Chains A and B, each alone.
Chain A
Amino acid sequence: SQQGEEDPQALSIQEGENATMNCSYKTSINNLQWYRQNSGRGLVHLILIRSNEREKHSGRLRVTLDTSKKSSSLLITASRAADTASYFCALGYSSASKIIFGSGTRLSIRP
């Protein structure tokens, strides 16, 4: 299957804590992206990491990619209530080609 598997399916943490979600996949990829979706809304791109990169940062986000283990993780530091959303990894198999989304992690931030 070309779809990513995300873990955990749901995560509830206290505001201020860090949140980590993982994405595993089975076939080689060109890049991996992370998106956020607020309930019923369109997805918003967070970060893209290419297959030859190991780590990327954007604000409070840190993404790692381990191509040998075929896995990626998204870390959100110092979580806020506004981070409550579903997070999806998306696998890119070549430029200008299909992008396959994982099943998502539902993140809830408790005040």
Chain B
Amino acid sequence: DSGVTQTPKHLITATGQRVTLRCSPRSGDLSVYWYQQSLDQGLQFLIQYYNGEERAKGNILERFSAQQFPDLHSELNLSSLELGDSALYFCASSTGHTGELFFGEGSRLTVL
């Protein structure tokens, strides 16, 4: 158990809809990362937050947004969903100093 909690574990929705994925980092970790993993692919970096502030941005679509709240949990919002958004979405946290990431088990999104 990494200590990182992601909800929901599975989500099935329709094209055009909007979903929110939630991540609770390990206790004490200030940094949260979001990644997208499509079937049998590598991980695409989406965005990183550190202590509530956006620190780095990757290949995140304009239809996607994220935030980190004062209690350090983070949410990834995906809107106007398309079939190609079907993927595993991972959240990872770190202290922000060592660089080692602790991953949640992911949220599997299926867009029909």
Binding site for B on A (CB under 8 A): 3, 30-31, 33, 35, 40-45, 48, 88, 90, 92, 95-104
Contacts and interface: CB of A to CB of B under 8 A. Distances in A.
Interface of B: 2, 4, 31, 33, 35, 41-43, 45, 48, 50, 55-58, 88, 90, 92, 94, 96-106, 108
A43 B48 CA distance: 17
Contacts, number: 70
B42 A102 contact: yes
Give the residue among A41, A42, A48, A92 with the most B Cβ atoms within 10 A: A42
A45 B4 CA distance: 13
Contacts of B56: 97-98
Given A43-B92, A96-B97, A98-B56, 19 more contacts: A3-B42, A35-B101, A40-B106, A42-B4, A42-B90, A44-B103, A90-B101, A92-B99, A95-B99, A96-B94, A96-B96, A97-B55, A97-B56, A98-B45, A98-B55, A99-B33, A99-B99, A100-B45, A101-B43
A104 B42 CA distance: 6
Nearest to B105: A42
B42 A42 contact: no
Nearest to A104: B42
Interface class of chain B by DSSP: strand
Nearest to B4: A42
Contacts of A45: 100-102
Given A96-B31, A96-B55, A97-B48, A48 B100 contact: yes
Given A42-B105, A42-B106, A96-B55, A101 B45 contact: yes
A11 to B, nearest CB: 15
Contact of B96 (A30, A41, A95, A101): A95
11 contacts: A33-B100, A35-B103, A40-B88, A42-B106, A44-B103, A45-B101, A96-B94, A97-B56, A98-B55, A99-B101, A100-B45
